[in-house]
Homo-oligomer: A and B are copies of this chain.
Amino acid sequence: MTTIRELSRRLGLSVSTVSKALNGYKDISPETRDRVAAVAGEMGYHPNALARALKTNRTYNLGVLFVDDDLSGLTHNYFAAVLDSFKVEAERGGYDITFINHNIGKSRMTYLEHCRYRNVDGVCLACVDFGAEEVVQLAMSDIPLVIIDHLFDDRSCILSENRQGMEMLVRYIHGRGHRRIAYLHGHRSTVSDQRVKGFLETMAELGLEVPEGYLRPSPYHEPAAAYQAVKRVLELPERPDCIIMPDDYAALGGIEALAEAALRIPEDISVAGYDGVKLIGRLKPQLTTVEQDTLRIGQEAARQLLKLIEHPRTARAEIVNIACRLIPGETVRDLKE
């Protein structure tokens, strides 16, 4: 590693002068500035991030925290897509990203402690459980922060329009002639609350009833649970003619249960998912679902966060809503034909 000292020696200048030349201070003559730049490039000099960060309190590192359980966050399609987009935008701004955890190897620490320990410039909280004390502690700290899919006082939040998405979906299903619509909502969270709200309100607006047992919980991303839940729903006195699954992935389990009951989709019963997972969109029959704009969610999260970091005086917390899109698919039958 070539250090700034070697560079200064080679140039016959002091360390301070070289540093200032590199950082665009204006009390350096244009000639030396150029000379420094030239030799620096030639020697492949890059300032040591650690030393610089120690002095400036800027690491150009962002912390990312997601899914509280250790149940494979990266293999979760929605989160992976959001993270990927977030990463691209962060890197564009010169930031690297690091995962926040409570390191088990050395001394265990809270999320907040980990952030301080690593001196991250900002944090992105995605898909995390705000029931956890540690998460709230972090969210209330003085670290620049952006939150995805959850509202928190005085914090920038990126919200996928879950209420509207669900409304769109229900109206679409209703428009195709369905009246008995069941909804397996995921475990409690801001996201679920919004979707359930959208479901109930829209059903009411449309003058549709939601019979006992038509609204039932079934955790996200768990096909096995959806499988069981669908079994239960099928035992109801009056079978729904359409079931909305917690998400696309869980839908696979639900669909399995329907197949076992010898119900054809969509001839005998209709089905819808949520998320718009690319892979599942390729299946036959193509799943009716609501696609979340993961690209914009991640991108907007990064932009908001960088804004907070780089303009701490002027930037204010902001709430950004990201629209979603209905994908009609083929699993909701048109009953009016």
Contacts and interface: CB of A to CB of B under 8 A. Distances in A.
A252 B282 contact: yes
A280 interface: yes
Interface string A91-127: 1111111110101111101000100111100000000
A46 B107 contact: yes
A49 B94 contact: no
Contacts of A261: none
Nearest to A224: B282
Count identical subunits in the complex.
2
Contacts of A105: 91-95
A65 B105 CA distance: 23
A90 to B, nearest CB: 9
Given A61-B98, A279-B279, 12 more contacts: A46-B107, A46-B117, A49-B118, A72-B84, A77-B279, A87-B99, A91-B99, A91-B103, A92-B105, A253-B282, A256-B282, A279-B280
Contacts of A53: 50
Given A75-B80, A91-B103, A119 B252 contact: no
Given A54-B54, A84-B73, A113 B46 contact: yes
Interface residues of A, number: 59
A118 B101 contact: no
A249 interface: yes
Contact of A74 (B83, B106, B284): B83
A262 interface: no
A283 interface: yes
Q: Quick one: which of A46, A74, A81 has the most chain B CB within 10 A?
A: A74
A70 interface: yes
